[in-house]
Structures are given as structure tokens and as C-alpha cells.
Amino acid sequence: MTEFETDLSASDDFDVAPVRLTVDLGALADNWREMARRSGRARAAAVVKADAYGLGIEDCGTALYEAGARDFFVAVAQEGATLRAYAPDARIYVLSGIWPGQEAIFYEHGLVPVLASEEQLAFWMSVTAEHGDHPCALQVDTGFNRLGLPPEEAIAFADDVSRPASFSPVLVLSHLHNGDTPSSDLNRRQLESFRRVAEAFEGIEASLSASAGIFLGPEYRFDLTRPGIALYGGEAVAGEPNPMKPVARAEARIIQIRDAKKGETVSYGGTHQLSRDSRLAIAAAGYADGYLRSLSGSGVPLRQVVEHGAFGFVAGRKVPVVGRITMDLTIFDVTDIAPSEIRAGDYIELFGPNMPLDDVARAAGTIGYELLTGLGLRYERRYVYPDS
């Protein structure tokens, strides 16, 4: 029976948390500087939507602002209002635009709506006519079939001499839908389409490239780039080495290590049968913590396509998930780790410097974006600052 020392004094919550997340703000800042360098003559913004890709808009926004970012992109107005306190003189763009009832938040916090439809354009003109000039941006759809005016409509609008003087766009932008595949002809088509729009809005800054587009070359960068996933350590280009520093490390505490016999089954449905006498580590993380059920070692449809599930990292070794991941718990096979090197209470890395985010995502049949933005509420967080 294992003996534990007891201590009734106050402890650091991070040191005893069932699941915990370490965010390296120094690496985040370095990644932004690297993307700014790769942007060449273009200015690099920072995309901090979805709570800075799940890592915390307050701390990440502050670190990016202190690194030099002065242009930010958020998805919704409330994110922009939160960010304003941490980026006092930055230009903050709201990608979902503006809707009736949101006028006050845009004017009060100096947010820039990204207008993507004729309806939003008409509404914004009525807002500025009533409340005074305020900057906006215009989004153009160059082939994504998501948000934005068709290029022809945008060009016609640029040439419309009856356009109200109160309409003051400071940026025209579009978005590549295949930028992470450099060989795709679709990138060139979108580039040519956007170039025509940018020329029609002469004197107004233009932006086409997010993280992946920056790697496509100077002609894709225009005046402003919008790095997002690369800032947080994720892969921007498929099939290429990732030059970015890892930013987030997710860990789960091992609650129990148990012995199991050859032939016994593991987890719900008994979908994994042990081929040897084994030692199993039960960790305090599951799909409620964003450790997706599709990462299971067996018993999920994805395993018919992708041979293995996720691995964790503990005691200097990669260890596989066995059986199905459950809501709050995941089982790892630690048979190949000496008993003296691992014990209950240790932490196992789910993703981080030793288990690259995108490798884990591929095992789940998804992308790093989803793992980061799906982090649950139970993670105790620690932010590592550049000087610490």
C-alpha cells in the first residue's frame, strides 16, 4: 500500500489540479515576432478570437501587445471589449461585423466592424449617419463561400460616387480557404480575385493572409497579415515542419496505477483486450476536458481508418491510450515504464512540447485548432511570462 505524506497548509492549486494547462507567453510572443518577420513589408496583426484559441485573451492579448502587435482580430464584439483593457491603443477588428443593438459597444470601445454583406453595409451607413464617423473594414468573398461581398459587388461599391462620405473603410480583406496547401491552384485564383478588389480600393490597406498564407510568399501578404494558429504553436502548412514554438502544455494527474492480466478488457465496451500482463495509469482527463473521445485507442469508428489513438508522455516515454476515453478519465498503458519511475499523483502530458499539438489532433481525426479551442473549464492555468 502506497504511503502519502499529509499537509493541511495551503497549497498551490496548480500543483494539485486534476488537469492543468501551462501557457508559455514568452513562446507566444516569440511566435508573433517570427510571423511578423515572415510577413516582410506587411504589418502583422494577432488573431485572438475564441479566447485566444482557448488560452486566455487577457494574458495572451497582453503578451502580444507587449511584443508589438497593434492590430488584433476577434470574432465577436464582447471579445473586443474584453481585449481593449489589455491593448489600449490597438486597432481591434470584429470579424462577425455589427448588428442592431451593438452600436454602443463598438463606439465605446473603439471596435472596428468587419462588414460582410449588403445588409451590414446598409445598417452601418445608418449608424454612422446618426452617430458620426467611425472606421470599418470590408470583407470580400474570393471563393470561400463563407462571409463577404462578391468581388464584383465590392468593386462596384468602390467606384460608386454616391457612396456616403461617412463610410470610412480602413481595411479590405478576404480569406484563403486552401492556404495550408501551397500547391493548390485555388490560392492563385483567390489571389488574382483579391488583387482586383484591392486595386479598386486604392489607398486603403488590404489583407488576404492568415497564418498559412504568410508562408505562400510576398505577393499574398499585401499590407496586413493575420496570423492565428501559428502564434499558439500550431501547424500552419500541411506536411511541412512546424517552425513555431509550442505554447500550451495540457496535463492530467494520474489517479491510480493498476495491474491487469493478459486477456482482460479495458474501459467501456471492453473494446481493448490486453495481450500481456499490463500496468495501467488512469488519468483525470476525458472528453469533458476536450480530450476527445475520438482519441481512444479502440472502440471508436476512427480507429478503422487511423490505426492508433493518442499517446501521452510521462517519465520520459510516450505511452498509448488504451480502450475508450470516458467523460472524466483516460487509461494509458504504462507497462514499459519501470514502477520506480512512475506513481499515482504524477502528471501525464496530453499535448505540449513532448506531444505536439497537431500530432495529437491527427490521432483524433481533427486539427490543432479544435483541441485548443475545446479545452474544458476544469484546467487550472499557469501563465509563464518571458522574465520568469
Known binding-site residue numbers: 146, 327
Q: Which amino acid is at 215?
A: F
For the chain, how big is the Rg over CA atoms in Å? 24
Query: Of these residues, 65, 268, 291, 379, which one is catalytic?
Result: 268
Using alpha carbons, list the distances in angstroms from residue 125 to 58, 106, 121, 164, 212: 32, 14, 6, 7, 33
User: Which cell numbers hold the place of 197?
Assistant: 478588389
**What is the 8-class DSSP label of residue 210?**
B
Where are the alpha helices (H) located in 69-184, listed in sequence order?
77-84, 103-109, 118-131, 151-158
Using alpha carbons, list the distances in angstroms from residue 16 to 138, 287, 346, 380: 48, 20, 10, 9
Catalytic status, residue 268: yes
Query: Of these residues, 49, 93, 291, 383, which one is catalytic?
Result: 49
Catalytic status, residue 49: yes
Contact 335, 341 (CB under 8 A): no
What residues have CB less than 8 Å from 205, skipping those under 6 apart? Answer: 170, 171, 172, 222, 223, 224
> Strands, DSSP E only, in the chain?
19-24, 43-44, 46-47, 71-74, 91-94, 111-115, 134-139, 167-173, 205-207, 224-225, 248-260, 265-266, 272-273, 278-283, 311-314, 317-320, 330-333, 347-351, 380-384
Map grid coordinates 463563407 to a residue: 146
3-state secondary structure of 101: coil
Residue ranges of the annotated binding site for substrate are: 146, 327
The rounded distance, in Å, linking the Cα atoms of 237 and 255 is 37
Map grid coordinates 483486450 to a residue: 273
10 Å CB burial of residue 354 (0-12, 13-18, 19+) is: middle
Map grid coordinates 455589427 to a residue: 98
Give me the active site residues, please.
Answer: 49, 268
